[in-house]
Each structure stands twice: as structure tokens, then as C-alpha cells.
Structure 1
Amino acid sequence: MDVLSDVLQAVRLKGALYFDVRTCEPVVAETPAMADVGAMVMPGAEHVISFHIMLSGECWAETIGSGNPPVRLEEGDIIVFPHGHPHAFVTHLGERNPPDLQFYATARGSSLPLMIELEEGGPKPMRFVCGYFGCCATPYNPLLQALPAQVLAKRPETGNHMEVDLIQAAVEEAGSPRAGGTTILSRLSELLFVRVIRRYIEQLPDHSRGWLAGLRDPNIGKALELVHADPCCEWTLEELARRSGLSRAVFAERFADQVGETPMRYLAKWRMQVAAGLLEQPGVPIEAIAEKVGYKSEAAFNRAFKNIVGLPPGAWRRGQRAAPGGVQA
């Protein structure tokens, strides 16, 4: 079981390219918090992530209000802001140019990605492409919880530069609209996200902690594969430890240290994420959902769901139907 792919499918990742920005130094470009514009750029998405790839030129990227230090963006670099922080791209650190929020509302109705030209013709041209990912944050998105305020994927010094190729292919696709173009653009940006996260995992320092570090740990990664391959199985701590090649005590300690959850708590939370997806399917009885995620009775499932999510499954389902873009019965 490919755990990362399973999570991305369960949280319904969806991508979109928005802006193809061409400018020159000096640059001062600010992106607002996704809490302010997320619903405009990705309607119906519970959580919105912004990303940018530098196709040419260089500048500083500052994540506003996160406490993260500025980072230098160069050609081929990609930066992702998983938690929706406002951020700025500047030639000179500290400069600001407050964005026009209404611009994001009007851009939605345009052909995407939208070309933006900002004072071209200077001695140092710059070009970067901006886009967004929409996903579910609740009941449980372990990937989102594991990511920092900013993820910088530096262009590799050797090897292929597929991420840049993906964006260039997407921009070319947008430049000559054809049947299926919107789907191609979405899939290309989603593939870009997977590539960036994969690169981020590979660049994690030794002895890193967190869900992403757990994926590359041979023993903990095996346990995660087992849980995601068969979440309805009656897993026990002893069985997961045995199948992962560790003693019960060592496994429990290492899993909690790496993932930040006990194995049984992680299993329960992931079951609720799977259940939430099933609850959004019209006409599926709650009793059947309980069985699909490993509970022998509807009452036991109701208690577990409320304990983790804060609402009974029936109330969760009604809330999702009432939300903008929610599934109707």
C-alpha cells in the first residue's frame, strides 16, 4: 500500500494553476492569507494550499506571521505554503505591497493560468507560476498536520527537473486550449504536489520526527502500510508490532515518537477519515459504514466517531450536505 497516495486520495487533493507572473527586479508581490481568498480560488475546498515555482530569476520569499526566516528562491525552486499563511516575494527584505483581494474574485472567471505582467523590461527578468491545492483538513489529514508553514523544494543540482517540466507543460497546455485541458492542468499540478512532497521527504534530516519521517522508517512505514491497506482489520498493538518486525514495547514507543500518535489512536483517527468520505456518499447507511471501517455495531462506531470528530456521524453528514458544494442526498 502506497500510504502517501492513499492519504492524498482520501483527503481529495485537487490542484489548479492560476497565475503566470512575468516581471523584473525589483519585485514586491504579496499573497494574502488563504483564509481571505481560499473560497474564491478553490470554491468548495475545506482547506487551500498555495504554491509557487520560480521559472526564471530569483528573489526572497517571506512567510508572514509564521516565525520562519526568509528563504531565497532561484530558478527551478518550488515553495509551498501548506497552512495558508500570507507571504511576500521581494527583492529587498521587509518591503510590502498589500494585495487587492477583489482581484482574486475576478480572476476566477478568467482563462487559467492568468498572465500577469508587472513592469517587464528591466535588467533582471523574473517569471514564476502560482497555483493552489484544495483538500480536506478534517476529520484527519496526517500529511497536512506533518507539514511546516513553508516547504521549500530546491532544484536538484543533478538529475531531471520534472517539476519545472510539469509546470511548463501546464502553461503550454493553457496557451492552446483544447478538449480536456482543465483536467490536464489539474492533474499536472497535483502530480507536482506529490513530487514536491516526495522531494521534501527525501531531504528530511536523519532522526527527523513526524508522520513523513515515519513513512521512510522501515518498521514504522510497514505499520502504516498495514493500517492503510486494511483499516477495517481488527488490528492489535501486538499484531502490528509483529508484522513490523519489532517487539511490542519498542514498536509502541517508536511509533508514538515518529508519528506523534499511539498506533491505536492513529488507526482510530484514520478510520474516521475513511468513514467521513463514505458519509458523503448519498444513500450509504451508517450501519454499513461502521462495518466498512472495522466496527461491529453502529453504536460503537457512533461513539468512536463522536469521540474523535466531535459530532455523531449523522450530524457530520448533515453538516457536509449543508456546506457550500456539499454532497446532496
Structure 2
Amino acid sequence: MDRDAALKTIRQTVDPLGEALHSLHMSGTFYCRSELTAPWGVDLPAMPHCLMFHVVSQGEAWVTVPDADPCHLSAGDIALLPHGEGHQLTHAIGAPSVDLFDLPREELGDRYERIITGGGGAVTNLICGAVTFSHPVAQQVIGMLPKLMNLRASVPGNAWIHDSLRFITAEAENLRPGGDTIITRFSDILVIQAIRAWIDHDPSAQQGWLGALRDPQIGRAIAMVHRDPVRDWNLQSLADTAAMSRSAFAAAFQEKVGETPMHYVRRWRMGLAESWLREGQATVAEIADRLGYQSEAAFSRAFKSMRGVSPGSLRKGANATATAPTGK
């Protein structure tokens, strides 16, 4: 097969960016439906390792994040805070705000609550969420996003937002059986669409790792590492996957991704290992074997060198978090 035919095959069989977005499945989801009347204002604390989002189903709101311009939201607009930074939601810029945990709330389920507050003026209804993403691809995507993103329903091509909001609002108000699942699925769609819109239009999304995913050759090599991380990859096999020479592939990968191919492979494997350890569904020895290490000790050394903590202590911490009692 000549080079042009190989590149055509690559384009037809691999969609690295699509596969990356496919990994954006939410976990650890918590929702709040807020019914607010002006004047109102809420201080939301930082939630590290969470993506937070706010959807305005009625009225308007302002989102203020430190070191960023205030963002105005109208009905149907979505604001995403990918890194869980503390911020304010208010009816107007500079309006007084109250700590979220000082507001009266109605617990409607383990992962769902409602807040009703305000001064009796103009009405704003919000659906807000805090979610996490456990898959390493998702974490890599989220890590590249700006601190505040806004998807406007008024932009041509975003009419689907209103349809999605109708479903989410109806489920949030009625709380029928399975409603929590429906809210989660539609929230998946809202978040992924917001990220797609950013990728399509923001120049920074054309660079670095995301830009490399768009490259038909480098993107294929990255996608194959994601699909088969335990394969005995080396520079030659990765270059063969990309239909490039070793030297050309190594140089192009370094330029586009910012690290050597083999460093990326090792870092990716350790990211998977960390995800498995946090899930607590495999022992350190089982993960070492799954990733092809000859011994648990060899894996532990490699993991600590790459992640800065031993796999055993990380797994113990995840187990302690999972079994700790929660208070209301």
C-alpha cells in the first residue's frame, strides 16, 4: 500500500477526536434546581476535580469568576466551569451574594436538591450540576479547557439547546422514576456539545494535544495507544501505525504533543492505572499484571516516579473515601 492509500485508510477508520469526546461520560453527578427572584446572589465554593455547569431555563443571570470577565446568561444559555473554580451567580453585576451552604434547601434525593430564595422580583430558574470524569481521555480534554465557557442558545445551530432544556426541566420538576438518569444523559449532551463548540471555534483548540488528535497520522497513533495501552509499544510500532518513518514520526509527535511518543505511552498507562486505583475495583498486583509489568514492585516504582505517589497509598485513600460516612 502506498502512502496516499495508507493515509486514506487512516482517515476512514479512526476518529481520534470523536473517540476522545466519547469518553466524556459523567460520574459523581450532583444536581440542583434553583428558583430565584431578584435581588439574589450566590457564592459557590471551589470544587476541585469537578466540572460545574449552570443552565438558565428562565430569566437571566451573571457568572463572575476571578480573573475573568463577567458572563451574562439569558434563557437557554449554558455556562461551564471545567476546573471547578469558586465563583458567583447573581441577578446583576456586583449584587450582594450569600454562601451557597447558608441558603435553605430541599433535598429531593441523594444527588438532587432544590433551592428557593430571593427578594420577590424578576424570576430566574437555573439547573446546576457538579460532575466528574474518571476516564483519562476525559481528564485530558477537560484539563485543556478555559476556566469559563459559555454556549449561547441564540447562536445559529444551537436550537437543540431549547429542546434539551425542555426535557431536563420537565424531569427536574416531576421527578418521575428514571428522571435522574434522563437528566444525567441530557447533561452529558449539553456538556459535550459545549466542548465541541469550543473546539470548533477557539484557536487554542487547534494546538497541542487536541490539535494532534486532528492530525491524520499523529492522531491515529494516539488513538491506537488509547485503544490498546498494554500493547508492547515502541517507537517503530507507533511510527508504523502512523505510516511514517521513525525519525519523522518522533519529530512530528514531539512538535505537536510536546513530549516524546514513549513518554506519552508511559504517562497514559499511569493515568489509566490511577483511574483503576481510584475506582477500587482492582488490586495493585492486578493492575501491574494488566499493564504488562513483570512485578508489582516494578509497577509501583514506575507509578510513583510518574504520579508522585505510590499506588498502594492512592488505592487506600480511594477506599477510605468510598467507605467514610457522609453527614448532612
Give the TM-score of the pair, scaled to structure 1: 0.77
Counterpart position of 1:303:
301
Contact (CA 8 Å) 1:47, 1:137: kept in 2 or not?
Answer: no
* Residue 144 of structure 1: how far off its partner (Å): 2.9
Counterpart position of 2:32:
18
Q: Alpha-carbon deviations, 1:197-228, whole Å to 9, x = none?
A: 22221222277323333333333322221111
- Looking at structure 2, the residues matched to 135 and 108 of structure 1 have their Cα atoms a distance apart, in angstroms, of 27
Distance 1:116 1:144, change over 3 A: same
- Stretch of structure 1 that moved more, 194-203 or 204-213: 204-213
Q: 1:240 aligns with which of 238, 244, 249?
A: 238
> Partner amino acid for 2:86?
P
* Residue 92 of structure 1: how far off its partner (Å): 4.7
Contact (CA 8 Å) 1:139, 1:276: kept in 2 or not?
Answer: no
* Residue 172 of structure 1: how far off its partner (Å): 0.5
Counterpart position of 1:99:
99
- Looking at structure 1, the residues matched to 181 and 312 of structure 2 have their Cα atoms a distance apart, in angstroms, of 33
Counterpart position of 2:49:
47
Counterpart position of 2:46:
34
Counterpart position of 1:143:
141
Q: Alpha-carbon deviations, 1:116-175, whole Å to 9, x = none?
A: 3534554xx544322221345999931232122112223363335333322321220122
Q: Alpha-carbon deviations, 1:84-133, whole Å to 9, x = none?
A: 22223446544442424233xx64733545253534554xx544322221
Contact (CA 8 Å) 1:140, 1:272: kept in 2 or not?
Answer: no
Contact (CA 8 Å) 2:106, 2:114: kept in 1 or not?
Answer: no
- Give the % identical residues: 31
Contact (CA 8 Å) 1:81, 1:150: kept in 2 or not?
Answer: yes
What SS does the aligned partner of 1:110 have? strand
Residue-pair matches, total? 306
1:4 lines up with 2:20 in the alignment = yes
Counterpart position of 1:80:
80
* Residue 54 of structure 1: how far off its partner (Å): 2.6
Where does 1:225-236 land on structure 2 (aligned, <5 Å)? Answer: 225-236=223-234
Distance 1:252 1:325, change over 3 A: farther
> Partner amino acid for 2:197?
R
Distance 1:58 1:221, change over 3 A: farther
* Residue 281 of structure 1: how far off its partner (Å): 6.1
- Looking at structure 1, the residues matched to 34 and 92 of structure 2 have their Cα atoms a distance apart, in angstroms, of 22
Give the TM-score of the pair, scaled to structure 2: 0.78
Q: Alpha-carbon deviations, 1:262-312, whole Å to 9, x = none?
A: 332222222122223433566744333223224343333122111112222
Counterpart position of 1:166:
164
- Looking at structure 1, the residues matched to 263 and 148 of structure 2 have their Cα atoms a distance apart, in angstroms, of 27
Distance 1:73 1:139, change over 3 A: closer
What SS does the aligned partner of 1:200 have? helix
- Looking at structure 1, the residues matched to 159 and 323 of structure 2 have their Cα atoms a distance apart, in angstroms, of 36
